Amino acid sequence: MRRRRSIVTSGPRTRSPHAGEPRLGLRAPRSRAGGAAGTPAVGDAGAPTGSGRGIGSGTGARTPALPAGTAPAGSWAGVPAGGPVSGVAAAAVDLSVDLAPRRPGRLVLRNPVLVASGTFGYGVEYGEVVDVERLGAICCKGTTLKPRTGNPPPRVTETPGGMLNSIGLQNPGVDAVIERYAPLWAGWQVPVLVNVAGESIDDYVGVVQRLDGVPGVAGIELNISCPNVGKGGLQFAVDRDAAAAVTAAVRRATDLPLLVKLSPNVTDIRPIARAIEDAGADAITAINTLSGIAVDRRTGRPLLGNVYGGLSGPAIRPVGLRIVYEVAQVVSIPVVAIGGVGALDDVLDYLAVGAIAVQVGTAIFADPEVPLRLVDELRAYCAARGLSSHLPLVGTALPARPGRPSAKGVEYRP
């Protein structure tokens, strides 16, 4: 058994005001393949051998029920998506996925399970706990142009269905990240995506220009849930034109695969997603945290030092599913889902609404081995279903045609 070590969050420890409530709201691992926790581990079967387009992505087409031995119509870059076949061994299931089909071969992952930014550090912190090389990809901690000390403590508190965090993008700055971590990443087989944040377009471009061409940096994940100082502090992510402008500027600054992370704190995500695709993004990740606060019951005042925090964990899963469902119908680039992923059922649900891959975040704090277990369970599930790939599972819940664009956001009213 591997030696485990404790994971410490920056800032002084504070007693949770919700003492006695469920910790993070995480559930025991589940499996639709008939297996519960303890599904036999199956190692990754060699290097990536191909990629396929998520069925239904961008077109609204559903994946039809297919007879054994046939493959679905639809592919990315002319590579057929894996179809149901008889007698598939788990080791033969190909979970590889291309997150940048516009740049063939630039970001092909061996499996569709990534770890989310801010939950896995720079990857090195978990080296003694999990085999990082078996992950699909690592999204490292948010990186800015200059070092940031972050928000005042307390920074983290548990909630009944997850956690609130207000770290404030504490990081050593892009130059230190390149110096300290990029040489290590260059020796890994797992791709590392650098999560980039900023307060202006010039900030984003400055970070990306430094990262461009650095060995070990496989791509960029753009965190646009940051205040735009040029527009009075309005987040880039909640304004279609601002989101498109920062995406286009970064696209001009680098040829690296570019993923853009959407905020759920908007009325209608669809025009923003389309604008980001048109501006040159290779893929979309959804969703970032929802804005929330917690109250210290002893003082009657906001608990977090910065008042506001980002809500993550199982509580936001339904919101994540809804947003991925909508985005997948209006864009043709891959969608990577984030939000409450902690069990195989969560992965399968996100695939059904159009995601081609998932990121695991908050669940890692309770069990760092969750991402690798999900890889094994997804492979076993596909084998049990007679599938040579997970791609036929993508988009099965999407409607035959995209729904009407939202004019007032009233379609969510119960």
The residue among 306, 307, 356 whose CA lies nearest residue 331 is: 356
CATH class given for the domain over 105-366: alpha beta
Q: β-pairing, 308-312 with 290-293? A: antiparallel
Query: Which residues are catalytically annotated?
Result: 226
Per-residue pLDDT, 400: 83
Contact between residue 291 and residue 311 where contact means Cβ atoms under 8 Å apart? yes
How wide is the angle at C-alpha 188 spanned by C-alphas 183 and 193, nearest 5°?
80
Give 266-310 pLDDT, tens digit per residue: 999 999 999 999 999 999 999 999 999 999 999 999 999 999 999
Q: DSSP state, 110?
A: S
Give the pTM.
Answer: 0.80
| Residue that the structure tokens 């990186």 belong to | 143
Q: How far is CA 309 from the centre of its chain?
A: 19
Q: Supply the pLDDT for residue 230.
A: 64
- pLDDT of res. 87: 57
DSSP labels, 188-229 = -SS-EEEEE--SSHHHHHHHHHHHTT-TT--EEEEE--SEEG
In the chain, which stretches have pLDDT less than 70? 1-87, 227-233, 401-414
pLDDT in tens, 106-138: 999 999 999 999 999 999 999 889 999 999 999
CB 411: neighbour CB atoms within 10 A? 11
